[in-house]
Amino acid sequence: MTIAYLVNQYPKVSHSFIRREIAGVEAMGLQVARFSIRSCSSELVDEEDKLEQELTQVVLEIGKFGLLFALIRVAITRPARFWSALWLMLLVGWHSERGILRHFAYLAEACVLLRWFSDLGIDHVHAHFGTNSTTVAMLCRTLGGPPYSFTVHGPEEFDKVQAIALTEKINRAAFVVAVSSFGRSQLYRWCSQEQWSKIHVVRCGVDELFLQQPHISIPDQPRLVCIGRLSEQKGHLLLIEAASQLAAENLPFKLVFVGDGPLRPQIEALIAQYGLQDHIELTGWASSNDVQQQILASRAMVLPSFAEGLPVVIMEALALSRPVISTYVAGIPELVEPEKCGWLVPPGSVEALTAAMRTALQLPVEKLEQMGRTGAERVAKQHDAQQEATRLAALFPSNIEKTQASAAPPPLVKVFTPTARSN
């Protein structure tokens, strides 16, 4: 059995969990072909990602004329399927934030993949993220391609359910994966109860690099680390405010931001405004080994997110026996238990965040070590990458058989206009 993995950008610095999942699925004896809509190879710093890049076919590298040729070829050779896919594309694109023209490009991308999937004998497509990669997989299926499934991470999918036609994607999928119980509950909201049985929880995981790392004691140095893309939803600006309050108390500390992103200029300006150059360091993107070393050099990892799915970096920090400071958001409370393996604060509360950081910086190392051990045990039990990949691999055969029993796609459902909901 050959499975195609389809992601908007792969490999990517922040998508190491997908790489681990693919490795786990392959370890179960399934063949995996990797496909990405576009490349972000210039950002890659990890050698494993660079090796994965060599195994990945990138759709947009075919060029505009290649996309147009694929579109025309399918329109001529499969007219009925093409018109069905075109109609679906128009309905989805009309109510989307990206418009018809962008969705017409998605249809062309689906035509390219239809040929590639056929040439490689792909039995099933699994997409990550319920946004454009799943749109392309759904259109490819409508053209007569293989059945598809997809993993929903959040928060983006839950922020714009109507705009990405999430209900339509669920109805047409062989099965759907959520990365947390919270995520599954949100999917339940946007599909009929008849579809609930196809929604499964398969958690993201960490591999042996983290799970089997020899224990390294928590340092005495007052050092915290924040790992993640520098974007609004991660709460970096609030974190800088909290750091400024700690600095005003003359509390010695170092806070390291690992990552990069669109918010970096604003972050740098705010650091200068508060005079925190001696307290906050920005490293940019880092390899998996560098991330590991940054975590190990810290007393705790802090991620004050406003919106999330369930961040893999929290799993990585806990696996390395470092407590975590985060927020009561989405799936995070399913992993971080307050006072047991870290601290959870209300999202947006600079006072609560400052208090948690102060506690982590001042707490005796022995107490932090105890919390770290509890966190490592929780991750080993719930977020072993191979164990979770085994769960996912088991879903492919049975769901492919069910889907192949019916060659015709399901009828369109009326999900494209908002409906009134009672409060």
- Helix/strand number for the chain, H first, E second: 17, 13
Segment 34-51 mean pLDDT? 89
Confidence of residue 406 (pLDDT cuts 50, 70, 90): low
Whether 171 has a pLDDT exceeding 90, the answer reads: yes
Q: Residues 396, 124: contact at Cβ < 8 Å?
A: yes
The CB density around residue 290, as the number of other CB atoms within 10 Å, is 15
* Cα gap 134→149, rounded to integer Å: 8
Are residues 213 and 185 located together in one domain of the fold? no
**Percent of the chain clearing pLDDT 90 (strictly above):** 86
The whole-chain average pLDDT of the chain stands at 93
pLDDT value, residue 403: 66
Segment 396-421 mean pLDDT? 55
Whether 413 has a pLDDT exceeding 60, the answer reads: no
User: Does residue 168 lie in a domain region?
Assistant: yes
Whether 410 has a pLDDT exceeding 90, the answer reads: no
Domain span including residue 161: 2-205+385-404
Whether 372 has a pLDDT exceeding 60, the answer reads: yes
What's the pLDDT tens digit per position in 187-222? 999 999 999 999 999 999 998 888 988 999 999 999
Confidence of residue 416 (pLDDT cuts 50, 70, 90): very low
How many Cα atoms are found within 13 Å in the side-chain-facing hemisphere of 345? 25
In the chain, the N- to C-terminal Cα span, in Å, equals 47
pLDDT value, residue 369: 97
Buried b (16+ CB within 10 A) or exposed e, 262-287: ebbeebeebbeebebeebbbbeebbb
Question: In this structure, what CATH number is given to the domain that contains residue 72?
Answer: 3.40.50.2000
Confidence of residue 404 (pLDDT cuts 50, 70, 90): low
Are residues 56 and 182 located together in one domain of the fold? yes
Are residues 192 and 253 located together in one domain of the fold? no
Number of domains in the chain: 2
What's the pLDDT tens digit per position in 274-311? 999 999 999 998 888 899 999 999 999 999 999 999 99
Are residues 238 and 151 located together in one domain of the fold? no
Q: Phi and psi for 199 in degrees, rounded to 5?
A: -100, 125
Are residues 240 and 122 located together in one domain of the fold? no
Query: Would you call 159 helix, strand, or coil by DSSP?
Result: helix
Q: Phi and psi for 329 in degrees, rounded to 5?
A: -130, 135
Q: Residues 270, 240: contact at Cβ < 8 Å?
A: yes
pLDDT value, residue 415: 40
